[in-house]
Structure 1
Amino acid sequence: MRNDELQKYHFLNYDLGEDFVHNSFGFCIEKDKKVLSACTPCLLSKKSAEISIITNSNFRKKGLAALVAAKFILYCLDHDLTPHWDAANYPSYLLAQKLGYKFIGEYKIYYLK
């Protein structure tokens, strides 16, 4: 996944694949050795995990993101982690609602150059 132009973003916070394997977790759906959808924590602490989902554009709207997210959420709950969802776009917002999350408000994000 590290060499995949889309899925490589799951590893931005880790120096090596081994670092991810030893210090994080994630779930994916693959076909013919290609990851179609993956869910990993973009932020992880001892008590919580921030959900990050990336699905190949050719396989969106097929329920794959919902499957990996549901598995991620169940894993978190089984391991006493609070799964947090910060919807960065409308499809993410809709998926969060589908999986039981409730909207609590918006906030602004500023980018510095």
Structure 2
Amino acid sequence: MISILNGRRTQMKQLQKQELGLLNPFFAGWEETILWSGLQGHMGHAWVDDGNSPTSARVLVGDFCFLAGRPDLALIEKIDLPISQKFLLLIPRTADWEELIQQAYAGRCQKLTRYAIKKQPDVFDPPKLKAFANSLSGEFELLPINRELYDAAKREVWSADLCSQFSSWAEYERNGLGFAVLHGNELVCGASSYSFYDEGIEIEIDTRKDYRRKGLAQACAARLILECLDRKIYPSWDAANLESVSLAEKLGYHFDHPYRAYEVEFYTACSMQAKDV
């Protein structure tokens, strides 16, 4: 893709796995495991503004788009995504990207505050987590996500993100991990890997609206964390709201800092194109 910016001709380059080292100067020290999934070549795609001497970079994994380096409209003006995806979270590393994002997507971008959670492998209390995992009443059943539950999760809008970043059961079975709560034969809550990286997973938790505030998310998340500890992988947590922060803290995590994100809605079915600026 070629774009003219302030008289400068910019040609975006999508990176191959062997070229991902070009991203290190832009994203080093950024403690986001969804980003790490892209940097390590496990998931998503990455671009730079110039394959020889890059000054800007973009990493896209699922619903998350990370931006770093010198603000460059070419990296945000057009992003091709699956037809089913209706929004994207743009996460700038520095504040100087924000004005460009708001210009490019005026009228369809919402500024959000998200909450980073510290990554501390030794803070968990297994007996406490086991108590949480065993706290459900007898009407509920807590099970590992198997092929049947994987398919069930992907069929419903509320639960799709439990497995949405894994294109097949075989891929999820190989790289994913999760647990689900059933009420009768119905899936009503799940805690699963939204993404995976070398040392762990990023946790996704979803509860059906009519089953919230029953302790299901706490039990499901506790069971997933215990499984991660048994497998010696890290269960990373990033919070979309303060309620998620509160649940994380009950499970042993500690809040780190708030950060800015921009939720951008789609106009077209398969791609997002910035309006003229």
TM-score using structure 1 length: 0.91
SS of the residue 1:12 aligns to? coil
Q: Of residues 172, 187, 196 in structure 2, which corresponds to 1:20?
A: 172
> Is the Cα contact below 8 Å between 2:163 and 2:193 reproduced in 1?
no
Looking at CA atoms only, which structure, 1 or 2, has the larger radius of gyration?
A: 2
Shift of 1:21: 2.2
Q: What is the identity, as a one-letter code, of the residue corresponding to 1:52?
A: E
> Can you list the C-alpha shifts for 1:7-49, whole angstroms capped at 9, x where unaligned?
1222221112232123211001101221111000111123021
Q: Of residues 252, 255, 258 in structure 2, which corresponds to 1:106?
A: 258
Shift of 1:6: 1.2
Matches within 5 A, 1:13-52: 13-52=165-204
**Residue in structure 1 matched with residue 239 of structure 2 by the alignment:** 87
Alpha-carbon distance between aligned partners in 2 of 1:74 and 1:11, rounded to the nearest angstrom? 19
How many residue pairs get aligned? The number is 113
**Residue in structure 2 matched with residue 11 of structure 1 by the alignment:** 163
> Can you list the C-alpha shifts for 1:63-109, whole angstroms capped at 9, x where unaligned?
10000100111111111111111110121111001111111111111
1:70 equivalent in alignment to 2:206: no
RMSD: 1.4
Alpha-carbon distance between aligned partners in 2 of 1:99 and 1:14, rounded to the nearest angstrom? 26
- Does 1 or 2 have the higher relative contact order (CA < 8 Å, sep 6+)? 2
Higher strand fraction: Structure 1 or Structure 2? 2
Alpha-carbon distance between aligned partners in 2 of 1:57 and 1:111, rounded to the nearest angstrom? 22
What percentage of aligned pairs have identical amino acids?
Answer: 31
Gaps of 5+ in 1: none
Q: What is the identity, as a one-letter code, of the residue corresponding to 1:34?
A: E
